[in-house]
Amino acid sequence: MTQQNNVIGLTGATGFIGGFILSELLDQKHKINVLIRDRKKLESQIGNKIKEVCILSGSLEDKDAVEKLCKGSGIIIHCAAKVGDWGSPEEYELTNIQGTHELLKSCRIHKIQQFIYMSSMAVYGLGTFSNI
């Protein structure tokens, strides 16, 4: 896979925000590379349109998969995150901080034109948000 400036790389395509973004990108006929952990979940979300995306299996913790995503894309939309209130703090840090850091490093190496970072209040967990 060679880098193409008109190809959009998407993380978190099977999540709430990423799923809506993927659907819109498909409707607009964009070329899309997706980094996903669960192909069956993606298939259930987009059905036959799965043929219209380039699927890269892996996660943000997988440096090779992140590298392939950036190498084959001109724009990255980053929606992947560990959310919810289960799991150790180390798991959240591995995905949300270290994974994003590795993605940004790969974007720099591959001279990604644009990096769009999506998030939600869910990454802060349950509780009050007076310090945000």
Measured between alpha carbons, how far is residue 7 from residues 64, 80, 94 in Å?
Answer: 19, 18, 27
Q: What is the pLDDT of residue 2?
A: 47
Q: What is the pLDDT of residue 82?
A: 87
Cα separation, 81 vs 66, whole angstroms = 14
Q: Who contacts 21 (Cβ-Cβ below 8 Å, separation ≥6)?
A: 10, 13, 77, 79, 118
CA 123 to chain centre: 15
Check: CB of residue 13 under 8 Å from CB of residue 19.
yes
User: Domain spans of the chain?
Assistant: 7-124
Q: What is the pLDDT of residue 123?
A: 59
Give me the mean pLDDT over the 20-32 stretch. 96
Per-residue pLDDT reduced to its tens digit, 83-112: 877 888 898 888 889 999 999 999 999 999
The topology under which CATH files domain 7-124 is Rossmann fold (3.40.50)
